Amino acid sequence: LSGVSAMKNITNLRRLRGRCRMSLRELAAASGLSRQYISRAELREIPATRALEAKLSSAVKAVIASRQEELLALEAAYWAYQGRLLETAEEEEP
């Protein structure tokens, strides 16, 4: 495929994954679909059904929620260390 024709076949999902660094593995884990199946859907090698659209949409929402939780935890950790970032870290208990 030429670069131009390949660009026309990029789905919004693939573009979104690229922009947000969302891996096929991450999306597969959230959707219950295989990485290969999602990749084939993105390449339009399998039919785009309403059910598949809904499943992938739910998976993207789940990834968003997961990342929000991770960002909130990062923010809380940052504020706990704010102003002391370069101090020696204390040992964490197991």
Q: Dump pLDDT digits (tens) for 53-92.
A: 999 999 999 999 999 999 999 999 999 999 999 999 988 7
Mean pLDDT (the chain, rounded): 91
Percentage above 70 pLDDT, the chain:
90
Q: What is the reported pLDDT for 1? A: 47
Alpha helices (H) along 1-94? 3-8, 12-20, 24-31, 35-42, 50-81
7: confidence class by pLDDT, cuts 50, 70, 90: low
Burial class (CB in 10 A: 0-12, 13-18, 19+), 71: exposed
Give yes or no for a contact between 35 and 24, defined as CB atoms under 8 angstroms apart.
yes
